[in-house]
Structure 1
Amino acid sequence: MFFKVMVLSLLLRRVESSQQEDLSFTYNGFREANISLDGLAQITHNGLLMLTNGTKLQKSHTFYPHPLHFKNLSTGNVFSFSTTFVFAMVSEYPTIGGPGIAFVITPSMKFPGAEAGHYMGLFNATNLGNSSNHVIAVELDSLLNLDFKDIDDNHVGIDINELTSIKSSPTSFFSDQDHQHHNLTLISGQPMQLWVEYNGPQKQLNVTIAPFNVPKPFIPLLSLNLDLARIIIDPMFVGFSSATANVQVNQYVLGWSFRMNGEAGELDLSRLPKLPRRGPKKKTKIVTIGIPVVSCAVLVVAIILVLILFIMRRKKKFAEVLEEWELNYGPHRFKYKDLYIATKGFKDNELLGVGGFGRVYRGVLPTSKQEVAVKRISHDSKQGEREFIAEIVSIGKLRHRNIVTLLGYCRRKGELLLVYDFMPNGSLNKLLYDQSDKTESVVLSWTQRFQIIKNVASALLYLHEEWEQVVIHRDVKSSNVLLDKEMNGRLGDFGLARLYDHGTDPQTTHVVGTLGYLAPEFSRIGKANPSTDVFAFGAFMLEVACGRRPIQIRASEERMVLMDWVLSCWSKGLILETVDPKLGTEYKVEEMEMVLKLGLLCSHSIPVARPPMRQVLRYLEGEVPIPELSSLGLTTNIGGQIFVPSEGSSDVSVWNINPSYMGSEMTLSSSVAESILSGGR
């Protein structure tokens, strides 16, 4: 009997599941919608779903009342699904938000013990991150909470079982018309549309946002490979959760569509309910009677003149410059006044460093309280204007996790200012060499160094091959690699960068860069290309592994040029003697040997012998083994001699040369250039 009941139960569940495989609903307004409301949630007279109102520290939940089966019973995989909704968030203060709206998939419509405020009515301090929660959420958050590692106070995030997003991004959309990203403000009071789509076979979750009346962009804001089968337990509920804090933020949903195994039906935007009118109603103008017209006019004119003088003086103090090219290339433009306040008037105690092209200050933006780095181009920099424009045009549109993000810029008379993400751990150069200002020396571990090398390689691959144009950095070195709070390396300072279209030949330019990182052919032909960046990256790898600058003037003649010294030690089978002594023996020998050899390979004097960055990254990731250096014609240049290891031993044969300049290219006979090296490590 028990077996029959179990079989019948399974059959009934299979019938119910098959009925829900193509379940869909579309609500153009909620006046007659079949939904479950809890807490502050209510439906207005015109069919608007109002999640929150002026009541503080309260929760709100709205759900489709029937549980949905997301899993295929035969395979256990999660079905594809899609949902879209139009929402609006209105704050009583234009720059201060509150807990946002979360679209949620959850095993229950009830959340016992959940708290309001920044917990968004979903969790409390004791159950955050519990795998037993089985909660999937897409948050629209307008409140910066450092406890949850929020990136800012205006972001979209994907949450699993907690409110620390596994992936998030500042709120923006990619326009299919002008092919640019445009920022959005969640608490603007303007309606926006969000799409959440899961591809079951590909196990990919996409989140896209756009303003009201703008079609769904082709490129999503967030895209994440995630198998939901380990999180979803059948059945599950879909809906919205929200909460209020101490600032009044009214949150509305105008329409909602959902579909299992297909694309959610389009909302009829013309049928969606209207949002409430913002601001107080216009008051009837009261005409004052009995005041002499002439006296009133004189008083008004006097007040206007005083205001004009005040405004003119204030504008002169914070006057800015705007030119036509900025309309095409400029990212977000900051007000000079905001940067002046952020850096406390560019005080010396906020100074982070001084470079060849200006001074860099730490700042805190007055509105968002975001920490930034403000680069102020020096007045006496002859190439300041040109380099400023180069940074605006190039890095202003680059988006990569290992590239320092240019948040915006400002121009004021002769001053040029760039605003970057603040990198709390400073430059790699300082951690490798300069620790005079620290009470305890901080030694980067090999694991951290190896990760930083791979970070920079990933950034260069993006610049050379993956962006819309080829970007040649031309100044890859440790002082231009900054470290974020997780000690990830980010490539910065694009003041010398050059761009050209894929498939075209780069133009000849002035030779610029830093001695020790310059490819030898660059000084001869003056053409920067990806291969010259690869050479600099090779010098950079040796620098990080050995803890020494590429050229060390005060070192012995044998050790003055780092690349030559490492190559000499390799030829003698002693390559590990070049490892930074500060590491001791705390490193993986196979990784260290690979990095040292790869540094030599990338620093090859013949450009075509250097691997492209895609191949370099494959070596670093261990996808393919690095080739034997003995077959690549490597030679050392020490004290005016060429050392070539003999076959089967670490002995060397010697050719005397007379280089005219340290680091310059040497022309060798074909027999030397093509000699086959063997031996060494």
Structure 2
Amino acid sequence: MHPRKLLVFSLFFSILFNFPRSPLLLVRSENLSFDFPSLSLRNLTLLGDSYLRNGVIGLTRELTVPSSSSGSVIYNDPIPFYQPESNTTSSFSTRFSFSITNINPASFGDGLTFFLSPDNQTLGSSGGYLGLVNSSRITKNKFVAIEFDTKKDAHFDDPNDNHVGLDIKNLVSMETANPDLDLKSGKLITAWIDYKSGLHRLNVFLSYSSFKPNFPLLSVDIDLSDYLKDYVFVGFSASTEGSTELHLIENWSFHTYGFHPTSGHNVSDSSVIAPPIPDSPNKHHRRIGLALGIVGPAFFCAFLVIFGWVSVRKWRGVRMEKSFKAELMTGPRQFNYRDLKLATRGFHSGRIVGRGAFGTVYKACFQDSDTVFAVKRSKHNNHEGDMEKLLLLGLSCANPDSLARPSMRKVLQILNNKAEVVVVPKLKPSLSFSCGVSLSLEDIVSDAEEEIQTPGPMYEIKLG
């Protein structure tokens, strides 16, 4: 099998064996419960003007002058509302304590809400929109909310400035009720909201104390599964418009129930405690089999990956060795101009690796070879002039008179066309040197290998 195909094959088996066991794919709808005696940012997200101070959430700005403000706080995790395994809709109950205070009683409005929404970005406009609905997208909202309204807004058909209402998709309440307590008194008020999916009934309770009343303030028969889908986000919102009203949430608990357990371990179902069951031999064997079923495919996949990696490295080594041997056997190659032009991308300037006196060297890559070549492109224009310059420079360097020879620095400047060539005398300079023998010009240029005897003294010889 080809090494690359083998590597792909091994990766396919790795994914195949591990795919069913991926924990990210095992999404279950289970009962959920949380209780916050005091609030923190560990599990909550603040939006808009909301803030946290001393374990209490403020939903609108705390100012001494009237202003417009809106804010919301949302529980970070989505809440399962529908269980497809059993085709069951969740029931839920929530309890929270809030207060609505105002340093200027004559400047009140607008109220707060508890909401369930399909997304975790619920932040609406200020004023009568209660921080829940965006004023520019009134018809594009999906939510279920209980409003605690402190201002009569004729635009939303509010009955008065102290009422509780059920809002679905818009702020015109489906049902309203007038509590026998003042929502904006500044006192701590506790609210209970219960929804029973089996009865399709929503109940709202209010009290100044921590004891739940026997009878609900607001009771509505409604099937919330028509408005809420698989998962929802829960939280609070509030707003003001030209007022100093302050909306505070001090504690919060939330519970869902009614889902059937989908596994042997459910963190939400803490009310039922099963006695421990001792391990049996069959259970022990099942554990061993489960361990082997997980570890075995993992080792097999690791073996395939390692084998594929080694095969690829070996294949590359053999290929390089064959290429090297082929080059040694074929010897020098002859290339036509078209191949050289393609290999150097048309003698592109980006392929230049060096420049010389007689041409430019380019990097060349041929399609049928992995070897990188160097191609020298000779300069044909002014070739005779360059040769003449080099000959004159050579004659200058060979001048018998050391004072007339150019320095090495001068030679480099001439070669780099930074200086003019030294003028060579038209007449051949006289050559004079001393030696221990008497030689003629024929002896100097002769190829004879005869040994010349030099018994005499030093003589001076002049040529020319």
Q: TM-score, normalised by structure 2?
A: 0.48
Of structures 1 and 2, the larger Rg is shown by: 2
Greater relative CO, 1 or 2 (CA 8 Å, sep 6+): 2
- Structure with greater proportional strand content: 2
